[in-house]
Structures are given as structure tokens and as C-alpha cells.
Structure 1
Amino acid sequence: MPTSNSSAADAQLPVNEGHRRALEWVQTGPKKLLIGGEWVNAKSNRTFDSFDPSTEQRLTSVAEADALDVDAAVVAARKAFEAPSWSGITPHARTRALLKIAEMIDLHADELAALESLDNGMPLWYSTASAAAAGEVFRYYAGWPSKMFGTTNPTDSSAFLYTVREPMGVCGQINAWNVPLMQAAIKISTALACGNTVVMKPAEQAPLSTLRLAELILETNLPPGVLNILPGFGPSAGAAIAAHLGIDKVAFTGSTAIGKQILEASIGNLKKVTLELGGKSPNIIFPDADIEKAVQSAVKSFCSNSGQVCSAGTRVFVHESLHDEVSEHIAKIAATYKVGSPFASDTKLGPLISAKQLERVLHYIESGKEAGATLLQGGCRIGGTGHFVEPTVFSGVANTMKIAQEEIFGPVVSIIPFKDENDAVFQGNDTQYGLAAAVWTRDISRAHTVARRLKAGRVWINTYGEADPVMAFGGYKQSGIGREFGAESIDAYTQTKAVLVRF
């Protein structure tokens, strides 16, 4: 059956309690900056509008931060970092603070999910899962404050040598728009668990769930200035955070091109940098795999959040003996995925985030056609209102094609044939990215061998996209620097001090 956008029918959708509360919050008036525990206008008094990508209607106006606001937020964050009410508390008190935030998220999960769907366009089933995961992320990091151990080191009897882990200080954090609530939860929880303070810029395309999260966090009595939120634009607020000499560490999620700019801007005070960047992840299906399971998973992977997922499996490698059969099967399943209102219970794909992103995705689809790939499914915009596009399946793709090498960030998959295991690994690694990968096979030896050979920060075997806070996330090559999640993320937000005592 063809994909469709039933926007007329969806306009009559019932509004659940979370949706109602989200709409009420949006309608309470313009949203402000959070600096030093107070909601304030931007110093320039400039604002920008936030839009619903499914209807293209304005939701509300948001204060637009710039360098002057970053200065004020850094001062507030530094003061909070040095204050006994934050730097002097026990790790158990920090654990309790994070658990309170987790409980607050749980209480307002339906509202946060609805806000995410309104502002970002992700289907409600996806945003509901994301809101639940945000609470779990804070709960996971609540366990860390009392586990950041130092060491004692051997010396002669006249000395004592030990190390301690200490927080970095003021942490600048710049997020992308594709999963804004989760990105905010990951970065804030890690920084606070380690004893840092935060100056965060949510993406201007979808800032509302982060602002609401910040309101909820303030209700837990977090000391003023520990968390500062500055919605604004990359060239102004983002660039100021990256270059600010009063910021000790910066974390960025977004494109590789902007990540390189962040890295360059950080040179001024050699601040610590973590970057979670783009991906073009290989999803390799061997002939002995559970083909039906692999195919269903492949479609879900490149369609989830309308393909706006950095680790999406957008290159599906299929053995040449099964290429045509598997390609047709993927296209058939993708054609059943409904595209429509984020609040419809049967919607699989909502809109893309913006008209600019829609234009970008359609441009890549035309590129695939021009390069000679076979378009099996989709390829078109749906309707005249909202940024909807069909799930799009290309088969017979050469790994050198633009659609196979560049991150599209839309529901577009390239199906690429391979000859043998070595060819699959070579082609899978033949990209500037190295964020994620998957291997489908019943051969346990092959599974682990190929997983080891793939240059990716995450590798799944006989599954795709599963996540857990204990599982480190980050990229090889130009997919980034450092890791979020897991024990590795603690290294990104702490520094080691060695102390030698002479008796």
C-alpha cells in the first residue's frame, strides 16, 4: 500500500492529557533564557519563533541568546561551581539531586513527549519512549557520584602518593535538533553527576522540550546557576560558547562540519572537547542471517524519527545472491509505513524538522536517481503543508555514490551488494564516518570477527539501534571525539589530580 499523509483526518485527533498540558505550556507566552536561576529576556531583546513542522504553524517565540548572554551565564555558572552549596556537597547529596530530577521527568513524561512531538515532529510513540529514557538516563548517572574513585600509588615510606578525580568546571553544551530532550538529559546528567555546572544551547529548531525540562529541574531546588539554558543560533550563541575562555569543557552534538569549527574555536584556552557527529552506518546482512528479522529491523532503522538519527543504518549491505530479493522486501515493508501527524496512533514517520531539511533530503533523492541507483520506493514529498517525505529505498547502489557516502538525515536507504566477507567489511569501512554498524549472521565466529574489523564506535549483532546508558556511544574517524554514556563518559567530565605528600 502507498504511504500517505492523512493530515485532514489527523486534524481531528483527540488530545490526551500530556498533549493538553504541552499546548497550555506553549500558550503561556514567550519563552526566556535561564541564567543564574532566573528566567530572563535576552540582553538584545531579540526573539525567534518556534514552529510545528507538521503544520508549519508558529508555536511560540523564544528569547535569542548571543555572546553577551553567554558571558552572563558563564559568570553565573562559575559562581555556582565555586559555591559550597554545589562544590561542597557529598556525592550522596548529588545522587539525591539527580534522582529527584528523574522523578520529575517521570511525573511529566507525557507532557515532555507531546512537546517533543509538537516542536520536533517525531511520532508520539517515539517521543514517549524518548521521555521515558530521559528519566532513566538521570537515574543511571545518579549512581555515579559515589563511584568516581581515585587511586593510591606505591612510594617509599617517606611519602604518600594518591590521585583524585575532580570536575572540569563550567561545561558548555551545544545540542542538535533531532532528539533534543534525550540530548539534554544525557549532557546535563553527566555534567552534574561529576560536579560541574552547565551552560547549554539547545538547537533553535526545537528548543521547547529542553526549556520545559529546565523548568522542572528548577523545581527540584537545584542551586541557582548550576544549570543555564541559552536558546539561540549557532553563529552567535553556539560560537560564543565554543570560544569562551571561561568555559572549561564543551560538548557538541551535530554535523561533522560544525564539529570541526567547535574544535577550532576551543583552541583559545585548550578546553576539553567531546564531539558526537555524523554517521553513515553499515548494516550488513549475510546469507545465513534471519532475513525476515534483518529486513524488518533495517526498515525500522532508517525510518525511525523520519531518518533523523545519526546512527541510522542508511547503508544496507546485502550479499549479491540475495540483493534483489531483499531489496524488494525492504521496499514492500517501507511502503506500509504511514507518514502523517505525530499524534496519530498509526503514524510511523512524522515530518522532517524544517523546509530546509526537506529540500536537502529531496536533493539527495534526485542525486541517487541521477547516479543510476534504482528507486524502488518513495522519493517524493507528501502533501503541500508540513515537511513530509516518503520512506525512500534505493537498490543497486554503488558505495561511491553521493547517497552512500554523505549523511542525508532523512528516511532514505541505500542497498549495496557485496561479494564476500572481506568485501562487506571493506565497503562498510569505506566512508569518512564510523559511528555505528550492524552484522546479521547465525555464524558466531563471523559475527565477532566482522564486528572487530568494522571501524565504528557501536556495533550491533543480530539487532540494530538498541541503547542502554551503560553502552558507550561515540564515533571513530570523523564521527567524533570522546564518548557519551557508560564509564567512558565520566572521563569526559572529570580530570585527574595527583597529590604527593612528603613526611
Structure 2
Amino acid sequence: MKQENSGNQPSIADRFGEEHIESLLRELEARTSGHLIEGRWRTGSAGSTLITEDPATGRAIAEFAAGNADDIDRAVTAAETALRSGGWPLLTASQRAALLFALADRIEREVDQWALIEALDAGHTLTSIAGGDLPLGLRALRDNAGWATKVNGATAMQSACQSGANYYLREPVGVVGLITPWNAPFLMTIQKLSAALAAGCTVVVKPSELAPLSALRIGEACRKVGFPPGVINIVTGDGIAGAALARHPAVNMVSFTGSVDTGRSIIAAAADSNLKRTVLELGGKSPVIVFDDADLPRAAAAIASEICFKSGQYCAAGSRLFVQKTVYSIFIDLLGAEMARVRVGAGYRQDVDMGAMICERQRARAAAIVAEAIEQGARASAGGTPMPGAGYFFPPTILEGVDPGARAWREEIFAPVIAVTAFEDGAAPNAVAALANDSAYGLSAKVWTRDLRRAMEMVACLQAGQVIVNGGGGEATLPFGGTKLSGYGRENGLEGVSAFTEIKAVRLGYPP
């Protein structure tokens, strides 16, 4: 499953040599970052630090501040001050948009450095970052900048003889806490940050302690393009800092991407504090359904590519595969061949299709779930056990015959592991959809078929925030989010920016 570079330009991987990588590693090793609060880098109140590792080697690459409740309070106070006074509330929507466009231009001028830092910190391949995270992040940043001038209220129609007017406004929801994940640190930070700023909010970002470097670099880029002090604040740290942000009484909203358990704790903290609004994207166990009339080679290549994208640490990855019985054996052979072509190694090296998992704890959990499924009767027709040597590598894995009650079928493994089963040839679309819907999650679903009627019946029956048919198409930025345990609220596009606004209804009576 070699990922080809489009055009005649050298890939980012080709442009980075060993000397360049080692130089950046030495720079990161020597760097201890503080928190970005009120436009300045400040040391943490407790003076303690954490370490982030290169997942490909387990080697420490940077030291960063371990924030606590005091640091969060300082950052929230700065954000609240910036929201109510100073330069930010005086800016027009066009001026906010201009700052976001300037940020996008600055990042685009340094894409190689951003890609390398993301590969070192999160373990993903340079190819996937250069072809996925970076362009998607820049597109979201520019899209949200454009929405800054287009988020409107509305005026109700009324007769000419009425002595007043009725309308509503959209205003910034206030200070927003952004708690971002480790599996797409650059992309998730940029998406959330730009939507909140386009709506006129101020923010406190708490990046994952497993991959904080992109967020810190984003903070510095925001300083350099001229965002007013206090508009963007970044506090690094572990769950202590995240919990303090979720329960802070001056935070009006929290946008979070991560685990169900942490999402539950954020909801509880929001309820116990000031009933702050929450937008939660909590992962998935997405079904992929392959009918016998599908383009089988194309489907196999796409399914293998997706489950190996970010080493399977991708919330919408299709990890439950349903294949029509007539073509089951043929399709498993095609899928296995695609998996066998995946080249695993350090993401910042050349000729690599899949990098390491984020840490040993995540890899050990995946290995335990796979081993448990095999003990219960499943068969690993590809992969199945952690790869030896340094780093946190796990091979592309196909599990057949998984017990429907097994964790491998029910839980989000967040690894390059796909569980496969066959469905009967005569099964109606609604019956197949019922099998796919038998999950606590509802983030994404995929369907492969040439039959348009069947595809539309599946779309109608599947319980998911998005349904992708035959790999999808077009370039529209659609709202993204889930149902059931996959969370609620939407990101991207107008819906994503509007989530950071509050509606104020106005009933205006004319004076006599």
C-alpha cells in the first residue's frame, strides 16, 4: 500500500535527511516551554514538567510545563479580560478573518517544519501529514476565516403596519476551553481554534500531554501574526489541567475530542460548575459494509488504507467489516494483500506507509484486546502481535471469526486492527444496517455497492453522524460529529462556527 507522491515535486520525506532530523531532535530536547498566557510565555506556577516522546523510538524529545488549576485560572482570566475589553471586541468580523488568513499564510510558508514536528511528536508518516493533516488544517483555517463575516442572525417577516420588529442576533458564546487529542494534534487544534476565533470567542487550549508540540507552535505563530494578548492561551499538562478547565466557572463552553470516559467527566464538570455548553467527539467503532457488486479491489485498498491511517488511531476508521458471503473469501484475500504491502516504520523516514502507535500503554491495550479475541476463537489472518524492537509499532491486523460480544468487536481499539464477518447473501439492506447499528457508537459508516437504490436505503437506515458511499467524493466541508457514545455537536463549516455562538432574540417596540 505504497503512498505515491503526486506531481513531480519531491515529497517532504525526500527533503528531510538524517542530519536535519537529528538537528531538530536536539533542539526539541533542549527546549522547555512554558504556558502561553496573555500573549507571553510564562513558567508554570508549580514549576513541574512532563516529557513527550518520539513514538518510533521511545526517546524523550521535549520537556514541557505541567499545568495545574492555578495556571488554568490565570489563562481563563486572561481570556475573559480579552473578551470583554482590549483590542479583540473592537475588531470587526473582517479584521478577525484577516488575522486567521495571516495565520494560514504563515503556517503554509513553514509546512516542512510543521510536518516534521507532527511526525516526531505523534508518530504519523510525513506523507500522511503532508497529504492530510496539514492541507485539511489549512483549509479549515481559511474556511473558518471566511465564515467570520457570514455568521448572521435573522429578521422575521412581518406586516408593514406592525409597530416594532422581531429579530435575533448571534454573539460569541464567551471564553471557550479547547481540549485536543493526541492522534491529530495540529489538525484538531487548528479546526477548533479557528472556528472559535471566527465566532469572536477567546480560547484556552489544553493539548494532550502525549503530543503537545504542535499546539505550542501554533500559539507562537498566533503571537507573531498579531492576535491581541489573551485571545489565545495555551496551558500544557495532563488531566489535572484539563479537569480544571472543564469545571472553571468563567469558561462558557468546552469543545473536546477524545475518549468516552473523559467526555463523561467533562459533562459532569460542566453540570457541577456553570452548566457550560459542550461539544464532544468521542470516537467510534465504525462499520464498513461491502456488497457483492462493489468494486472489490478499490474497496480493499481504501479499507486497508483507512485502518492503517495514523496507525489505526483515527476516530472514524472502519474497524468492523461486514462482507457479503458470496465474495467473502475473495475480498479477504484482496484485503490481506493490501495489508501485506504496508511498510511500517518511523513516520519521519522515507518509504514508510504507517508509523508507530502513540505510546506503550496504547499498544499494550490493543495487544491485550486482540489476544483476548484470539483466545475466544478468533483468527488473525494478518498481524496480531506487537512488533519487536524499539518504538510502539503494531502491524496491520485482520481478525476473522470474532465473537460478537468480544471487546475486539465492541470497543474502540484505536489500533490498525479490523474485525471481519460475513453477512447472508439474501439479507435486505435494513437487516444489514441493523447488524452495523448494533454498537454503542455512531460516528461514521461506510458502504460499498454499485446499486444506487441499495446505497440510499443503507444511508437511510444507518445510525451514524456521517455515511460514506464508495469512498465519497467532492470537496464540500461537511459538519462532522456523531450520535450515541460518539458524542454530540458538530464541527466544520457553518455548523462548526455557529456552535461557538449564542442566540439573542430581540423584540423591538417602536416608541409611540
Instruction: Pick the TM interval, shorter chain.
Output: over 0.9
Of 450, 456, 459, the match for 1:448: 456
Q: Aligned partner of 1:146: which letter?
A: T
Contact 1:328 1:376 in 2 (8 A): no
| Structure 1 residue 151 displacement after superposition | 1.1
2:6 is aligned to none
1:7 is aligned to none
Contact 2:202 2:230 in 1 (8 A): yes
1:143 aligned onto 2:146: yes
1:8 is aligned to none
State the identity %: 37
Matches within 5 A, 1:99-498: 99-129=101-131, 130-155=133-158, 157-234=162-239, 236-267=240-271, 268-419=273-424, 420=427, 421-463=429-471, 470-498=477-505
1:52 aligned onto 2:54: yes
Match of 1:231, SS? coil
Cα deviation per residue 1:225-255 (whole Å; 9 max; x = unaligned)? 1000111111x10101111100000011001
Match of 1:146, SS? coil
Match of 2:149, SS? helix
- Distance in 2, matches of 1:470 and 1:113, equals 23
| Structure 1 residue 21 displacement after superposition | 7.4
Match of 1:500, SS? strand
Q: Aligned partner of 1:277: which letter?
A: L
Match of 1:383, SS? coil
Gaps of 5+ in 1: 2-11
Match of 1:192, SS? helix
- Distance in 1, matches of 2:22 and 2:477, equals 34
Contact 2:209 2:236 in 1 (8 A): yes
| Structure 1 residue 29 displacement after superposition | 1.8
Match of 1:382, SS? coil
- Distance in 2, matches of 1:174 and 1:401, equals 31
Query: Larger deviation: 325-334 or 432-441?
Result: 325-334
1:5 is aligned to none
Cα deviation per residue 1:393-442 (whole Å; 9 max; x = unaligned)? 11233433321110000000011111223332111100000000111000
Q: Aligned partner of 1:253: which letter?
A: T
| Structure 1 residue 490 displacement after superposition | 2.3
Query: Larger deviation: 129-138 or 241-250?
Result: 129-138
Match of 2:169, SS? strand
- Distance in 1, matches of 2:484 and 2:34, equals 38
Aligned pair count?
A: 491
1:82 aligned onto 2:84: yes
Cα deviation per residue 1:427-462 (whole Å; 9 max; x = unaligned)? 110000000011100001111110121001011110
Contact 1:17 1:110 in 2 (8 A): no
Match of 1:397, SS? coil
Cα deviation per residue 1:45-104 (whole Å; 9 max; x = unaligned)? 010111111111111110011100010001000011112511121111111111001101
Match of 2:318, SS? coil
1:29 is aligned to 31
Q: Aligned partner of 1:473: which letter?
A: F
Cα distance, 1:467–1:40 mapped onto 2, change above 3 Å: farther
- Distance in 1, matches of 2:15 and 2:146, equals 41
- Distance in 1, matches of 2:342 and 2:16, equals 22
Contact 1:134 1:182 in 2 (8 A): yes
**What's the TM-score, normalizing by structure 2?**
0.93
Contact 1:66 1:240 in 2 (8 A): yes
Contact 2:151 2:494 in 1 (8 A): no
- Distance in 2, matches of 1:209 and 1:67, equals 22
Of 52, 70, 73, the match for 1:71: 73
Cα deviation per residue 1:106-131 (whole Å; 9 max; x = unaligned)? 01111111001101110111122312
| Structure 1 residue 279 displacement after superposition | 0.2
Q: Aligned partner of 1:261: which letter?
A: S
Cα deviation per residue 1:450-488 (whole Å; 9 max; x = unaligned)? 012100101111006x79672111001110110011221
1:4 is aligned to none
| Structure 1 residue 23 displacement after superposition | 3.8
Match of 2:241, SS? helix
Match of 2:369, SS? helix
**What's the TM-score, normalizing by structure 1?**
0.94
Cα distance, 1:167–1:112 mapped onto 2, change above 3 Å: same
Match of 2:177, SS? strand
Q: Aligned partner of 1:264: which letter?
A: A
Cα distance, 1:398–1:175 mapped onto 2, change above 3 Å: same
Q: Aligned partner of 2:314: which letter?
A: V
Contact 1:137 1:469 in 2 (8 A): no
| Structure 1 residue 15 displacement after superposition | 2.1
Cα distance, 1:13–1:374 mapped onto 2, change above 3 Å: farther
Match of 2:347, SS? coil
- Distance in 2, matches of 1:347 and 1:395, equals 26
Query: Larger deviation: 268-277 or 373-382?
Result: 373-382
Q: Aligned partner of 1:247: which letter?
A: V
| Structure 1 residue 24 displacement after superposition | 6.2
- Distance in 1, matches of 2:285 and 2:475, equals 21
